[in-house]
Amino acid sequence: MRTQIIVFAVALVLMFVSFSIAVLPESWWFMGSLGLLAVLLGLQAIISGITGGGAGAGADEEGKFWLQRADSSTISIKDETCEGVMEAFLNFDWAAELENLKNLKKSQSVPPGLGLGSYGDEIFVHITMAKPDKVDILFVRRVKPGRKKDAFEEIYKEDFPVKKVDGVVRAYLDNDADKLVQMLG
């Protein structure tokens, strides 16, 4: 968020300077271009701030692992080791969150889960609690990076055993997309 504020402030200063100087006839094209750049930077900063800067599902910018509550709020997992992520996952009060999910309006709720990364990363995994011993997993990976529009492959696996979630976390930490495909496919 700090980066978005700095970019926005720089954009505002550039806009002020460019529009102040643009009254001189010989520099209008240069200053107009500078002003347009400032406007675009400002819009990028505003949009990035609104969407969370690509942090995925409302995760704060502190870490790439997060627990998502039924009301869409998130809790960042500070210990980014497999053991730390699994401890947070296993100790989270899933029963309470699933109960909250029932009590919230559908438009104001999401299935509670564990997020690994952000949507748009090379690999993103979202694990939602389906039953006390089963989870549903959304796996997304970028398959054609570097093009104007990246292409993504998505796999959705239902009723995955909770006792195997640590293997998913380990494969994610190893950046092993092929192993994730094999586990979920």
| pLDDT tens per residue, range 105-145 | 989 999 999 999 998 888 999 999 988 889 999 999 988 76
Q: 59 lies in a domain?
A: no
- Pair 84, 13 in one domain: no
User: Residue ranges of the chain with pLDDT lower than 70?
Assistant: 1-63, 145-149
Q: How far is CA 28 from the centre of its chain?
A: 40
**Domain that residue 47 falls in:** 2-54
Domain boundary among 54, 79, 97: 54
Please tell me the predicted confidence (pLDDT) of residue 28.
Answer: 53
Rounded to whole angstroms, the Cα distance separating 149 from 151 reads 6
CB 140 within 8 A of CB 127: no
Please tell me the predicted confidence (pLDDT) of residue 130.
Answer: 83
- Pair 8, 77 in one domain: no
Q: 72 lies in a domain?
A: yes
Distant-in-sequence, close-in-space partners of 98: CB < 8 Å, separation ≥ 6: 70, 112, 129
Please tell me the predicted confidence (pLDDT) of residue 125.
Answer: 97
Q: 115 lies in a domain?
A: yes
- Pair 74, 30 in one domain: no
- Pair 80, 135 in one domain: yes
- Pair 43, 69 in one domain: no
- Pair 16, 100 in one domain: no
Please tell me the predicted confidence (pLDDT) of residue 123.
Answer: 93
Q: 60 lies in a domain?
A: no
Please tell me the predicted confidence (pLDDT) of residue 145.
Answer: 63
- Pair 43, 84 in one domain: no
- Pair 50, 69 in one domain: no
Distant-in-sequence, close-in-space partners of 121: CB < 8 Å, separation ≥ 6: 56, 142
Q: 41 lies in a domain?
A: yes
- Pair 117, 45 in one domain: no
What is the DSSP pairing of strand 123-131 with strand 152-161?
A: unpaired
Please tell me the predicted confidence (pLDDT) of residue 101.
Answer: 92
- Pair 128, 44 in one domain: no
- Pair 78, 24 in one domain: no
Q: How far is CA 154 from the centre of its chain?
A: 16
Q: 18 lies in a domain?
A: yes
- Pair 9, 48 in one domain: yes
> Total domain count for the chain?
2
Distant-in-sequence, close-in-space partners of 70: CB < 8 Å, separation ≥ 6: 97, 98, 100, 101, 104, 109, 110, 111, 112
Q: What predicted TM-score, i.e. pTM, was given to this entire model?
A: 0.65
